[in-house]
Amino acid sequence: MLKGAIICPDEDLSEKLEELLAGMGVVAVVRTIPRYPNTTELTRALRASGPQVLFLSIESLSRALEVASAAEEQLPGLQIVAIGRTADPATLLEVMRSGVREFISYPFQRQSVYEGLIRIKEVLEKKPVVIDSTDLVFTFLPSKPGVGTTTIATNTAVAVSRLPDQRSLLVDCDMNSGMVRFLLQLENNYSLIDAAERATHLDENIWPQLVTTVGHLDVLHSGKLNPGLRMEPARIQNVLEFARRSYKVIFLDLSGNLEKYSLEAMQESKRIFMVVTPEVPSLHLAREKIGYLRSIDLADRVAILLNRCQKRSIVSPAQVEELLGQPVVMTFANDYQGVHKAMTAGKPVDANSDLGRQFTQLAQFMLEKKPAHEQKKRLMEYLSILPSPVSLFAPGKKSAS
């Protein structure tokens, strides 16, 4: 179904059109504006709702033409339908000269409106609306509970938000044991659940109430513990579509349970960062999950983050890479005191600490702020030549846990 918006100062006309469209099943109205907006308001509304069809009242022809021009500039390929109670030939000619090819007048004739919508649908199938949305969506997936995924996701998101011109969003998608709210001591009662319930009607007025701004980062937490909650993947997808039009970088902190909505989120991701620790249980479950992701064609997006590394770890990054068959792109120090101090204060880890600098390095790696050869060099430093890897699960080998 197409997404539509209505701009019409005539409230009665707008309501009658919306009622007609609701019964046709071709266009779903996602936004109604009862006035001619200025350019700033229009930009925000179009970015928030992302319509493919705009029904525009020509009650004031000059204002309507200004809106039509600005709308086409913001969303190339947007199909504009002029609406009005009456229109003389001169007005219609002026409308057509502006590029508008469809006009419907009141009283609306159901069949003619339907035929016009079908023509618009065919045009959009050949040439979709160009909607500016980011592809920088990153998911963080734990190999098992307690490996520090939320700490890494949160601090990396903060590190990215500190970079110039990187409006960022962190979403806690763990409905059963989400920790972002606790880590950052957020007091906002609204959560991802509320965003999902309003998924088809999110706009620039509702969204700021749902998120909490921490520094330059917007955060949407998962809400209170609700084990019986079942999140519809389509709702999460709608929330993500809205966010992709509003932010440059999006971070999704997943539970690791591979729920349907989590799998949908990973399908939308540029990179899936699986967090592991150098322990047998974590590595075993990581290998199991990677095997499943491989079966649904997602393994090529997986990169490993090796957390809580000691200087003389039993398992080296090279061995982890050998075992899991995926690249280890970053290792993180086991800074228990630094993480505990940050958690107690409800703040990110100190950016000037060793661990804090590692989060900054990951942020730069994700956004490709470093040249490719430098990224490769850094990766090879982490995967330095070590003794030949051993199979962690070979018969006769002792557990490394």
Domains assigned to the chain: 2-126 (3.40.50.2300), 137-382 (3.40.50.300)
Which residue has tokens 């502006």? 98
Q: What is the 3-state secondary structure (H, E, C) of the chain?
A: CEEEEEECCCHHHHHHHHHHHHCCCCEEEEEEECCCCCHHHHHHHHHHHCCCEEEEECCCHHHHHHHHHHHHHHCCCCEEEEEECCCCHHHHHHHHHCCCCEEEECCCCHHHHHHHHHHHHHHHHHCCCCCCCCCCEEEEEECCCCCCHHHHHHHHHHHHHCCCCCCEEEEECCCCCCCHHHHCCCCCCCCHHHHHHCHHHCCCCCHHHHCEEECCEEEECCCCCCCCCCCCHHHHHHHHHHHHHHCCEEEEECCCCCCHHHHHHHHCCCEEEEEECCCHHHHHHHHHHHHHHHHCCCHHHEEEEEEEECCCCCCCHHHHHHHHCCCEEEEEECCHHHHHHHHHHCCCCCCCCHHHHHHHHHHHHHCCCCCHHHHHHHHHHHCCCCCCCCCCCCCCCCCCC
Range 355-365 average pLDDT: 95
Residue 211 — pLDDT band, cuts 50, 70, 90?
A: very high
Say whether pLDDT at 119 is over 60: yes
- Res. 398 pLDDT band, cuts 50 70 90: very low
The tokens of 118 are what? 């079908």
> Residue 373: pLDDT band by 50, 70, 90 thresholds?
very low
Q: What is the pTM of this model?
A: 0.78
What percentage of the chain has pLDDT greater than the value 90?
73
Q: What is the pLDDT of residue 68?
A: 94
Q: Reply yes or no on whether the pLDDT at 20 is more than 50.
A: yes
Which residue shows structure tokens 């539970």?
255
Q: For 255-264, what is the mean pLDDT?
A: 93
Q: How confident is the model at residue 384 (pLDDT cuts 50, 70, 90)?
A: very low
Q: How confident is the model at residue 109 (pLDDT cuts 50, 70, 90)?
A: very high
Nearest of 331, 308, 330, 322 to residue 390 by alpha carbon:
322
Q: Is the dihedral of CA 186, 167, 3, 103 positive or negative?
A: positive
pLDDT band at 274, cuts 50/70/90?
very high
Confidence label for 391 from pLDDT (cuts 50, 70 and 90): very low
Average confidence score pLDDT of the chain? 88
CB-CB neighbours of 303 under 10 Å: 17
What is residue 372's predicted lDDT score, i.e. its pLDDT? 39
Phi, psi of 17 (to 5 degrees): -70, -45
- The pLDDT score that the predictor gives to residue 396 is 41
Band of residue 87 on the pLDDT scale cut at 50, 70, 90: confident
Instruction: Determine whether 331 is exposed, middle or buried from the number of CB atoms within 10 Å of its CB (0-12, 13-18, 19+).
Output: buried
Report how far residue 101's alpha carbon sits from residue 79's, in angstroms, rounded to the nearest whole number: 9
